[in-house]
């Protein structure tokens, strides 16, 4: 009885040891130490093999748990061992199950096929997993060992989740592929056939959600197209450990939101991965030009895009707007571009612009309403309908120029309602009626600038006379504007004189000014209109260092009527004169009742100020002052101190002798 008890205890210890070798989580044999089926004629054989993984058949798995089990019931184990360091194993003493010579099974099996498939090899190794060999039998007639190997299908250990891109466009159609890659503990892709479940996180907090069925939500996006089911349990395939789904179909109302996609191993939800997919609002783009009524691009002005929505009652409202500035660069003057136009709730859009035409006139323009395309660029241009100018005025920078090559700018200014028409690129053609007096360049058509002005240069010849310059702007068919200005080409002379006081005394540094004049019919006299634009005007009369005191001189004075004035300390006088022939055809000089005689060459006009007497400053000669002589008091002599007598060497020797005698007398008495 004691021996039986000891044997039972030994068996229990062995069973506990075997149980400790096989992890509790593994699917492994549950009945251990069973007897082999009855041997064919008492014959035994052996089996050898190697343990590898499904992802790498060239590397053996060392120290794996190896067991020979019943092929028809793999929970029944006959014998176990471990593989060597290279994954090899060998088990001997296995009962034969069939005869290849007689083609019969052992009595334990009903058929030859059952005898030839009596056993399987089982292998388990952490962290790889477990696997079984193909079924085999032991041939009574075979002398060598049977050979069969075990392939362990490695267990999933981790998942990586990858998306085609990190966002989907919330347009109800866009979708992307999301793939889960499952790997074993060695980092190798798992074999095909492992199921991976895909879910979408909660819309508000993206919490992990497992289980079935999963319901599509417009706010979250979908793993399959809406209405096509919820097939989100996908097996790994392609020998890459990969399983994929499509995700998207987000309604445009949810642009700006996001969802978290989860993938987890169907048999162990602790193995999972997740990633966040953003919902990009659908966007579009819009381009066009701003042009005016002439088809000319309008650069440098703001353009506004209005994105419009619609209420349930059918009325429209503006969702938001964007502003850009048109290009001022050639060849894209007037071009504008809007990109990344968010289209959430947008029904249509339109663009508008404005520009200042004159100081008090702003023009506007707008495109039609257009649906904004999601897949391609919308095009909508703006025509700023500009009212055409209604007048042109041609003027000369100088009404009078000198013969002999002097230049003058002719300016044509466009107008609208009496205001300057500030529009560029309108052609103006200039013509002259007297090329013998002055000429224009060969190219006589110029375009207006941003101020609505066109300029051309007129150059005088050597002939005195008048020339009429006409500027014409062809605005549109049957609408031409023109105007003419006159330029006089004249000779010139010199004006000189002396400014004096009432006593005919020259006045230095008097203010001398040459004036243009016109006839005032009401007052019956000439009056100044402006200072003549010639060098050294006004000027100061000479102070006597380079010419006579009070003298002034003006050179190259064009033929005309002038007034020259002299002023000193608020006292002023004048002289009106005509240089060259009197220009009676000019409006300013018509009906004049007093016309001085014409003068040519050098005109002399002294100006005597009748109410002023010049007093030259008095020169003061400085008077030498007497030099003061300093009296020095005699110095008081300093008395010389009387020296105090100092003892000499004789006295010192005498004192020393007296001290010596006193010492000897004292010693003798003692």
- The Cα 242–Cα 182 span in angstroms is 6
Average pLDDT over residues 281-304: 88
**Mean pLDDT across the chain, nearest whole number?**
84
- Using CB atoms within 10 Å of the CB of residue 263, give its burial: 0 to 12 exposed, 13 to 18 middle, 19+ buried: buried
Average pLDDT over residues 335-350: 91
Given this model, what pLDDT does residue 269 score?
Answer: 85
- The Cα 98–Cα 79 span in angstroms is 20
What percent of the chain is predicted at pLDDT more than 70?
84
- The Cα 122–Cα 406 span in angstroms is 116
Given this model, what pLDDT does residue 115 score?
Answer: 92
Interacting residues of 505 by C-beta distance below 8 A, sequence separation 6+: 550, 613, 614
Given this model, what pLDDT does residue 625 score?
Answer: 56
Average pLDDT over residues 141-160: 88
Average pLDDT over residues 220-229: 66
Given this model, what pLDDT does residue 475 score?
Answer: 84
Q: What's the CATH class of domain 2-154?
A: mainly beta
Interacting residues of 86 by C-beta distance below 8 A, sequence separation 6+: 50, 60, 62
The CATH number for 492-608, chosen from 3.30.1490.100, 2.60.40.1120, 3.30.450.20, 1.10.10.10, is 2.60.40.1120
Average pLDDT over residues 315-322: 94
Average pLDDT over residues 255-266: 87
∠ Cα 419 422 426 (to 5°)? 120
pLDDT at 663 over 90: no
Whether this model's pTM surpasses 0.75: no
User: Dihedrals φ, ψ of 293, to 5°?
Assistant: -65, -15
Q: Of 240-244, 262-266, 585-589, 637-641, give the lowest mean pLDDT range.
A: 637-641
Average pLDDT over residues 516-542: 94
pLDDT at 337 over 60: yes
- The Cα 168–Cα 261 span in angstroms is 13
The answer to whether the CB of 389 falls within 8 A of the CB of 413 is no
Interacting residues of 501 by C-beta distance below 8 A, sequence separation 6+: 507, 568, 608, 609, 612, 613, 614
- 340 or 409, which is more confident? 409
pLDDT at 228 over 80: no
Given this model, what pLDDT does residue 322 score?
Answer: 95
Average pLDDT over residues 271-299: 88
Residues of the chain with CATH 2.60.40.1120: 2-154, 283-384, 492-608
Given this model, what pLDDT does residue 58 score?
Answer: 87
Split at pLDDT 50, 70, 90, the class of 224 is confident
Q: Of 128-142, 202-216, 471-485, give the lowest mean pLDDT range.
A: 202-216
The answer to whether the CB of 138 falls within 8 A of the CB of 115 is no
Task: Collapse the DSSP code of 253 into the 3-class scheme (helix H, G, I; strand E, B; otherwise coil) and give the result.
Answer: helix
Q: Is the dihedral of CA 364, 369, 373, 379 positive or negative?
A: negative
Q: Of 13-22, 338-347, 461-470, 646-655, give the lowest mean pLDDT range.
A: 13-22
Given this model, what pLDDT does residue 493 score?
Answer: 94
- The Cα 150–Cα 69 span in angstroms is 13
DSSP string, 618-653: PPPPPPPPPPPPPP-PPPPPPPPPPPPP---HHHHH
Q: Of 199-203, 254-258, 492-496, 601-605, give the lowest mean pLDDT range.
A: 199-203
pLDDT at 56 over 90: no
Return the H-helix or E-strand segment holding 394: strand 391-396
pLDDT at 256 over 90: no
Average pLDDT over residues 319-341: 93
Q: What is the pLDDT of residues 396-448, one digit of tens each?
A: 999 999 999 999 999 999 998 888 988 888 999 999 999 999 999 999 999 99
Average pLDDT over residues 522-536: 93
Given this model, what pLDDT does residue 632 score?
Answer: 44
- 216 or 450, which is more confident? 450
Residues of the chain with CATH 2.60.40.10: 158-280, 391-489
Average pLDDT over residues 20-44: 73
Tokens of 94: 């296995």
Average pLDDT over residues 80-101: 95
Q: What is the pLDDT of residues 93-136, one digit of tens each?
A: 999 999 999 999 999 999 999 999 999 999 999 888 889 999 99
For domain 158-280, the CATH superfamily is: Immunoglobulins (2.60.40.10)
| Domain 283-384, classified CATH 2.60.40.1120, yes or no | yes
Given this model, what pLDDT does residue 622 score?
Answer: 63
Domain 391-489: give its CATH architecture: Sandwich (2.60)
User: Dihedrals φ, ψ of 202, to 5°?
Assistant: -60, 145
Split at pLDDT 50, 70, 90, the class of 655 is very low
Given this model, what pLDDT does residue 619 score?
Answer: 66
Average pLDDT over residues 13-32: 48
Q: What is the pLDDT of residues 592-650, one digit of tens each?
A: 999 999 999 999 999 999 999 999 887 666 666 555 444 444 444 444 444 434 444 34
Q: What is the pLDDT of residues 183-212, one digit of tens each?
A: 988 788 988 889 998 888 643 334 444 444
Given this model, what pLDDT does residue 551 score?
Answer: 97
Given this model, what pLDDT does residue 437 score?
Answer: 95
Given this model, what pLDDT does residue 664 score?
Answer: 44
Split at pLDDT 50, 70, 90, the class of 8 is very low
């Amino acid at each position: 009885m004691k021996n039986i008890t000891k044997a039972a205890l030994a068996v229990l210890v062995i069973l506990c040891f075997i149980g400790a070798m096989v992890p509790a989580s593994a699917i492994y044999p549950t009945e251990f130490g069973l007897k082999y089926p009855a041997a064919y004629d008492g014959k035994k054989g052996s089996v050898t093999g190697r343990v590898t993984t499904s992802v790498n058949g060239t590397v053996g798995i060392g120290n794996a748990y190896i067991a020979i089990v019943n092929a028809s019931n793999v929970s029944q184990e006959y014998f176990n061992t471990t593989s060597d360091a290279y994954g090899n194993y060998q088990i001997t003493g296995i009962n034969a199950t069939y005869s290849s010579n007689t083609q019969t099974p052992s009595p334990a099996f009903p058929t030859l096929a059952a005898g030839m498939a009596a056993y399987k090899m089982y292998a388990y190794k952490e962290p790889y997993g477990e696997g079984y060999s193909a079924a085999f039998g032991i041939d009574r007639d075979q002398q060598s060992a049977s050979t069969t190997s075990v392939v362990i299908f490695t267990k999933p250990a981790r998942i990586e989740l990858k998306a085609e891109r990190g966002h989907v466009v919330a347009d109800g159609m866009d979708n992307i592929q999301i793939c889960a890659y499952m790997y074993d503990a060695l980092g190798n892709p798992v074999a095909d056939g492992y199921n991976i479940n895909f879910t979408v996180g909660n819309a508000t907090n993206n919490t992990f959600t497992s289980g079935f069925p999963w319901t599509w939500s417009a706010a979250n996006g979908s793993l399959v197209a809406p209405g096509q089911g919820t097939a989100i349990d996908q097996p790994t395939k392609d020998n890459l450990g990969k399983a994929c789904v499509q995700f998207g179909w987000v309604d445009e109302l949810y642009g700006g939101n996001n969802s978290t996609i989860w993938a987890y191993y169907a048999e162990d939800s602790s193995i999972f991965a997740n990633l966040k997919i953003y919902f990009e609002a659908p966007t579009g783009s819009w381009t066009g030009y701003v042009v005016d009524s002439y088809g000319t691009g309008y650069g440098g002005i703001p353009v506004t895009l209005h994105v419009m929505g619609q209420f349930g009652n059918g009325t429209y409202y503006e969702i938001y707007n964007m502003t850009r500035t048109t290009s001022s660069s050639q060849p894209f003057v007037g071009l504008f571009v809007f990109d990344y136009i968010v289209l959430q709730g947008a029904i249509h859009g339109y663009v508008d612009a404005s520009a200042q035409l004159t100081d008090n006139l702003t023009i506007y323009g707008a495109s039609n309403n257009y649906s904004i395309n999601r897949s391609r660029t919308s095009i909508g241009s703006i025509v700023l309908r500009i009212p055409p100018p209604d007048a042109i005025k041609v003027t000369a920078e100088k009404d009078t120029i000198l013969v002999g090559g002097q230049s003058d700018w002719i300016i044509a200014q466009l107008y609208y309602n009496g205001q300057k028409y500030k529009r560029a690129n309108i052609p103006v053609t200039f013509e002259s009626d007297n090329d013998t007096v002055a000429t224009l360049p060969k190219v006589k058509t110029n375009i207006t600038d941003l101020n609505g002005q066109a300029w051309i240069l007129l150059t005088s010849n050597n002939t005195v006379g008048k020339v009429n310059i006409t500027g014409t702007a062809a605005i549109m068919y049957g609408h031409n504007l023109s105007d003419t200005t006159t330029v006089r080409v004249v000779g010139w002379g010199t004006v000189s004189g002396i400014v004096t006081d009432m006593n005919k005394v020259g006045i230095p540094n008097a203010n001398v000014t040459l004036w243009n004049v016109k006839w005032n019919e009401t007052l019956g006299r000439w009056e100044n209109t402006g200072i003549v634009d010639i060098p050294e005007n006004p000027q100061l009369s000479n102070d006597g260092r380079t010419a006579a005191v009070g003298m002034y001189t003006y050179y190259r004075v064009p033929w005309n009527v002038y007034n020259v004035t002299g002023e000193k300390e608020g006292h002023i006088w004048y002289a009106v004169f005509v240089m060259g022939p009197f220009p009676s055809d000019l409006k300013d000089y018509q009906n004049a009742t007093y016309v001085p005689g014409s003068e040519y060459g050098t005109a002399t006009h002294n100006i005597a100020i009748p109410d002023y007497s010049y007093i030259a400053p008095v020169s003061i000669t400085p008077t030498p002052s007497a030099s003061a002589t300093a009296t020095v008091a005699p110095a008081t002599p300093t008395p010389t101190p009387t020296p105090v007598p100092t003892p000499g060497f004789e006295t010192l020797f005498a004192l020393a002798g007296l001290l010596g005698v006193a010492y000897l007398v004292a010693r003798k008495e003692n």
